[in-house]
Amino acid sequence: MNRLKEVFLKKQGNLLNVYFTAGYPTLNSTRPLLDALQHAGADMIEIGMPFSDPLADGPIIQASSTRALNNGMTIALLFEQLAGMREHIQLPVLLMGYLNPVMQYGIERFCADCEKVGIDGLILPDLPLDEYEREFKTLFEKHHLAAVFLVTPQTPEARIRKIDELSTAFIYLVSSASTTGTKDAAQSQTQAYLQRVASMGLKSPTMVGFGIKDKAGFELACRYTQGAIVGSAFIEALDGAQEKDFPALCKSFVARFKSPVSAT
């Protein structure tokens, strides 16, 4: 959690959080991608735990999850791959997934293993807020895990303020009421929504996800929030890549969002 707080304090804005699915494009891609993204200049990394029935994922991330599961990826294997990660990775790292496989793994065992490998936070979109507060908050805190909750354009203000009260990292602003990778975030309704949340004076940093595909979408998000989460676009970029391609691919990908605008 300190790594998450530090990155928001140090950089203040224009933070790029890159998502990839564990076990994609190959079973052992996790550690090489972490290394490549850190060297490329990403500010934080979100690792998806593949699940057969995701609620919020669009077709691109769904397909990557299917490939990862077919490759043999499991939560237990992911923790094996992440062992020793903190010897080399200084960036905040979060896990994103769904409650069913986490509960199957065992929630206490899962949180303990997250702490052991150095995970900073968890994004579980189907974890009810009241259930988190009643049953999981103490467990998360015990293992130094920040809980990240999602807000959509339809989320009532009272719920946003409750999420803000419970958040210890950042609030994940879903750019639209669709699944990942299916909308362009640079739309007038998205801008109005981001302005509305920004005007609420929340204590927690915010980041925008779903539909951030290019520099225009990233810059729009950063105008009203501390940064953006890019997932489907990176999964597309990884399609067909091999481990030897990762350093150059990640450098080029991060530069799409964070490079200076060229003079014309």
Pairing of strands 171-174, 206-209: parallel
Type of residue at 23: G
How many degrees, rounded to 5, is the angle at CA 101 between CA 100 and CA 106?
A: 100
User: Whole-angstrom Cα distance, residue 108 to residue 139?
Assistant: 7
Measured at the alpha carbon of residue 101, what is the angle toward residues 96 and 104, in degrees to the nearest 5? Answer: 140
Q: How far is the C-alpha of 218 from the C-alpha of 238, rounded, in Å?
A: 19
- Contact (CB, 8 A) for 23 and 69: yes
Catalytic residues: 46, 57
